[in-house]
Amino acid sequence: MIYLAFLLIPLTHIFLFKTSIGLKIRTVGENPKQADTLGVNVNKIRYMSVIIGGAFAGLGGCYIALVTTGSFSENVAAGQGWIALAAVIFGRWRPFWIVIGALVYGMVNATALGLQSIGTTIPFQFLLMLPYLLPIAILAAMYKKSVAPAALATPYKRGESRICCSCKCE
């Protein structure tokens, strides 16, 4: 799985930034009305993206469950899906930077576990909190630098005009 994950990094970058379907996905995320005007089926692209993303998330969840405990148990992921979302925001929606964010989280998590195992005087509650505290601090520092796709989480209906903000522009 690890080798597959590292192989998917450049493949994802090439797919999103060097192919026509990647351009369509990014256009649908930024400006679905423009994509629709160009003949792209916005709903199809969105549904397929969600299905493929969900499949990868499920694969990651299965991997966590099988590697951590060997079977499924309640809260085995311990909020790591939110950390993945934070890594995407930290990475500014670019595959290579997302991996850097995930590796930083993994490094902090491994350091916290290592410090617990050697019997440090730092309270274990703080060490358990550290891998979750760091992404929050990084996101707070990068608040203005990371810009989400313009149409993220915005429903789209063909032929419907939406006002984008309080300035009443379209």
Residues 154-169: tens digit of each pLDDT: 888 887 665 555 444 5
Are residue 67 and residue 91 in the same domain, yes or no? Answer: no
- Boundary of a domain, candidates 42, 73, 104: 73
Are residue 66 and residue 128 in the same domain, yes or no? Answer: no
* Cα(15)–Cα(26) distance, integer angstroms: 11
Does 92 reside within a domain? yes
pLDDT of 48 = 96
pTM of the model: 0.79
pLDDT of 62 = 84
* Cα(90)–Cα(119) distance, integer angstroms: 32
Residue-averaged pLDDT of the chain? 86
CB 48 within 8 A of CB 40: no
Higher pLDDT, 142 or 107: 107
pLDDT greater than 90 at residue 5: no
Higher pLDDT, 123 or 75: 123
Determine the residue type at 66: L
Confidence at 55, pLDDT banded by 50, 70, 90: very high
Which of 1-15, 103-117, 137-151 bottoms out in mean pLDDT, i.e. has the lowest? 137-151
- Boundary of a domain, candidates 32, 47, 73: 73
Structural domain containing residue 109:
78-148
- Shortest CA distance to 15 belongs to which of 57, 48, 64? 48
Confidence at 49, pLDDT banded by 50, 70, 90: very high
* Cα(11)–Cα(68) distance, integer angstroms: 27
* Cα(136)–Cα(29) distance, integer angstroms: 25
Higher pLDDT, 11 or 138: 11
Buried b vs exposed e over 52-72: b needs ≥16 C-beta within 10 Å?
eeeeeeeebeeeeeeeeeeee
- Average pLDDT score over residue span 53-72: 84
- Shortest CA distance to 81 belongs to which of 54, 107, 104? 54
pLDDT of 168 = 47
Residue 121 tokens read as 């005087």
Are residue 67 and residue 100 in the same domain, yes or no? Answer: no
Domain count, the chain: 2
Does 29 reside within a domain? yes
Higher pLDDT, 68 or 38: 38
Are residue 59 and residue 97 in the same domain, yes or no? Answer: no
153: number of Cβ within 10 Å: 6
- Average pLDDT score over residue span 24-32: 94
